[in-house]
Amino acid sequence: MPIKVKRIYEDPKKSDGFRILVDRLWPRGIRKEEAEIDLWLKEIAPSDSLRKWFNHDAKKWTEFQKRYAKELANKEDLISIIKNEAKQGTVTLLFGTKETEHNNAVALQNILLKKFK
């Protein structure tokens, strides 16, 4: 099940497959009509308190992933949505931050890939 991550500011491509925005907040400067997303799963994003605590600090990355995984344990219905789409083809998790290595979409991708093995 191919699950990719990509900044929403990058040009959409056919190879993205099903595009899911996984941020709680809508990205700045992107009009909803032009976003070319298939689904906005804002409920799967980290809680505000976890997001603010982490603040894309690479030193907190390992702990952030653990805490985020705990939050996702109560969101199996949302994970199932992604899993069902991934069975059909490529899914791309979209995020807005400039931080491309330490963000919730990358953490979610890691968690999903472990779950779907």
pLDDT of 76 reads 93
pLDDT of 30 reads 93
Q: At 58, phi and psi to the nearest 5?
A: -55, -30
Specify the pTM: 0.94
Is the CB of residue 104 less than 8 Å from the CB of residue 46? Answer: yes
Q: How confident is the model at residue 1 (pLDDT cuts 50, 70, 90)?
A: low
Taking the C-alpha atoms of residue 80 and residue 86, their distance in angstroms, rounded to an integer, is: 10
Tens-digit pLDDT profile for residues 23-59 = 999 999 999 888 899 999 999 999 999 999 999 899 9
The ranges assigned to domains in the chain are 3-115
